[in-house]
Structure 1
Amino acid sequence: MRYDLDDLRLFLDIVEEGSITAGARRMHLSLPSASARVRSLEHQAGVALLIRGRRGVRPTPAGTTLARHAREVLAQTVRLESAVASYTRSPTSPLVLLGGGSAMHQLVPRALVSFLRDYPDVDVQVSESRTPQTVRTLVDGEADLGVVVDDEARGCGLEMETLGDDSLVVIGQAGGILTGRTALTYSEVAEHPLVGLDAASALRRWVEKHVGPHAPVVRYRTTVADLNVLIALAAAGVGLAVVPRRAIDPGRPLDVCELSDAWARRHLLLAWGARNGPSPPAAEALAEHLRMASNV
């Protein structure tokens, strides 16, 4: 029995999206073409692989088994292609990955650890960049991948997919002034002393852009360059802080309160650089590691 690698990629995309339509979109296929490929795959396997319903699809037990082995096969294929390509690829041409401060806190480092360990022949150049600059660089074809914030990346014409929630919350010392509160507006937060990121940081500039010119005057007791330091200061009771929820260690003793302003609800997107033809296999592999890291 022979399986087509593109059919396996399509099947994995469908399983991950829970929809044949969404899976087809990720593979740049029409819905009829994707449906025909799935039927052919089921015919070849001799068993149903998907349970189809009005709200989408889910894998059968056989489909779950196929998906698990397909991931292993495709990962091995990328390693093979990468190993062979290393003999022709210039050592001065690493993959280029851009991301904002929120992505650089946990998501990108986690993905890099697993990717660089699995692909010793591939180098990655990583730079912190605000979403508007990241989008411009990707549009110019000067980067392979970027992790961007959804509301600043709309309408740019790049291929993008959602990585995960990146909503903002307010944090403070456990048992402190946030105790018993479930949600606050930014104006209410600004009534208290804060600790924040440096004025040039992507997150600080993003918040100030969205609160607008009539934002309340904020007293920052101090500003720092690193989210880890910022969270430690808030945990110590120095002041409240506005941070992405995904940046918080669940085991850390903190009071966490929703930020109820509509602009605090945001998502991280994975954006692909403009290119002619298919993405390099190594870029596809790095994208998969970013997806896996976002689900941890």
Structure 2
Amino acid sequence: MRDIDPVSIRLFLATLEEGSIARAAAREAIVPSAVSKRISEMEAELKVPLLDRSVKGVHPTPAGQALAHHARNLLQGMDRMQREMAGYVEGVRGLIKVLASVTSLSGELPADIMRFRTERPQIEIDVEERTTPAIYRGVRDGLADVGIASEFASHEGLQVFPYRRYALAAVLPAGHALAEAAQLAYAQLLADDLVELSRDSGISQVFDDAARAARTSRTVRARVSSFETICTLVARGMGVGVVPLYLKAAKEKSLGLRFVPLADDWAQPRSFIAVRDYDTLPVAAQAFVAHLRESAAGGGD
């Protein structure tokens, strides 16, 4: 592929995303004939057709689909290289892309990040919240250097390190019949309406399995994007929920709630630090992973 340049690759991907050479050309501010010529040159270089062309638009051939996968990885790597090199010009030595779960961002991770940035102000950290399954997929696909997420999803193909363990608790209105219990089983909540995280969160499948094990159904009245919102809706009478116990200090008195630890064997999960391969990470990302591991070890579970 010595004669295929990044511009041609970008135009090819734009054509796939738009489903039309004309729309891709308009998006990229170039004439359609130039886009068509670039793609034809790529097909000649690779000796395979990349697009099926019809009056309704264009669609990738199997070879085109394979090329698109590699092309996206290539452009992501080039974009990251350019941003990191720009950082050196500006005196910033390193840029780390991090995907983190709502659980991690509600816990100790923000403080760990800020301590790292205080110690190494020359390194920038770009954090994006994702669901646990999406975090592991993103790291596996090279969309991030580091992921921090719970054990409630497959991390096959990744190198993972233990981060922090946290306890889950039922969150109930203060006047609820179960509010004064010392511990609860998740099954005891299933008679109530539930407020949960979105269906694509890692813990959703755990709740499904727990309900099946209890041989009962559950009624989810609302699905939201954060544990803080679960607490707010429970306080407003929409049901009961499950959240990390560490939110008790901030939410119990202010919202008139009760946090009761869950006794289920899955109710003390661990978060992981996930990377594709620690040894091939940029030096800045290696330092960040080492910082998180040391911070977690120093603070206990």
Supply the distance in 2 between the matched residues of 1:243 and 1:215 (Cα, whole angstroms): 23
**Mapping 1:108-257, distance limit 5 Å:** 108-150=109-151, 152-153=153-154, 156=156, 158-208=158-208, 211-212=211-212, 216-249=216-249, 252-253=252-253, 254-257=257-260
Cα pair 2:94 2:122 within 8 Å, conserved:
no
Supply the distance in 2 between the matched residues of 1:160 and 1:231 (Cα, whole angstroms): 31
Deviates more, 1:259-268 or 1:273-282: 273-282
Paired position in structure 2 for 1:265: 268
1:75-130 CA distances to partner (integer Å, 9 max, x unpaired)? xxxxxxxxx99536998973111222211223333333333344333222222333
Supply the distance in 2 between the matched residues of 1:143 and 1:274 (Cα, whole angstroms): 12
Cα pair 2:150 2:270 within 8 Å, conserved:
yes
Structure 1 counterpart of 2:150, which letter? Answer: V
Superposition RMSD on alpha carbons, in Å?
Answer: 3.7
Q: 1:193 to 1:152 in 2, by over 3 A?
A: closer
Q: 1:138 to 1:225 in 2, by over 3 A?
A: closer
User: Which protein has the larger Cα radius of gyration, Structure 1 or Structure 2?
Assistant: 2
Cα pair 2:92 2:122 within 8 Å, conserved:
no
Measure how far apart 1:191 and its partner are: 0.4
Q: What is the percent sequence identity of the aligned residues?
A: 22
1:281 to 281, 284, 299: 284
Q: Give the alignment's TM-score, normalised by structure 2.
A: 0.56
Supply the distance in 1 between the matched residues of 2:268 and 2:146 (Cα, whole angstroms): 23
Supply the distance in 1 between the matched residues of 2:140 and 2:229 (Cα, whole angstroms): 33
1:43-78 CA distances to partner (integer Å, 9 max, x unpaired)? xxxxxxxxxxxxxxxxxxxxxxxxxxxxxxxxxxxx
Measure how far apart 1:267 and its partner are: 1.0
Paired position in structure 1 for 2:105: 104
SS of the counterpart of 2:164?
Answer: strand
SS of the counterpart of 1:249?
Answer: helix
Q: Give the alignment's TM-score, normalised by structure 1.
A: 0.57
Q: 1:148 to 1:172 in 2, by over 3 A?
A: same
1:117-146 CA distances to partner (integer Å, 9 max, x unpaired)? 443332222223333433343344442211
Supply the distance in 1 between the matched residues of 2:124 and 2:210 (Cα, whole angstroms): 36
Deviates more, 1:96-105 or 1:275-284: 275-284
Measure how far apart 1:190 and its partner are: 0.9
5+ long unaligned stretches in structure 2: 1-84
Measure how far apart 1:203 and its partner are: 3.6
Structure 1 counterpart of 2:161, which letter? Answer: E
5+ long unaligned stretches in structure 1: 1-83
Supply the distance in 2 between the matched residues of 1:89 and 1:290 (Cα, whole angstroms): 29
Supply the distance in 2 between the matched residues of 1:92 and 1:199 (Cα, whole angstroms): 39
Measure how far apart 1:231 and its partner are: 1.4
**Mapping 1:67-82, distance limit 5 Å:** none
Supply the distance in 2 between the matched residues of 1:222 and 1:251 (Cα, whole angstroms): 19
Cα pair 2:117 2:123 within 8 Å, conserved:
yes
1:131-169 CA distances to partner (integer Å, 9 max, x unpaired)? 343334334444221113235346x35433222223322
Supply the distance in 2 between the matched residues of 1:105 and 1:217 (Cα, whole angstroms): 29
Cα pair 2:97 2:144 within 8 Å, conserved:
yes
Cα pair 2:187 2:211 within 8 Å, conserved:
no
Q: 1:186 to 1:144 in 2, by over 3 A?
A: same
1:222-267 CA distances to partner (integer Å, 9 max, x unpaired)? 3332221211332454421111223433673332223233233311
Q: 1:196 to 1:141 in 2, by over 3 A?
A: closer
SS of the counterpart of 2:161?
Answer: strand
Measure how far apart 1:270 and its partner are: 1.6
Q: 1:118 to 1:85 in 2, by over 3 A?
A: farther
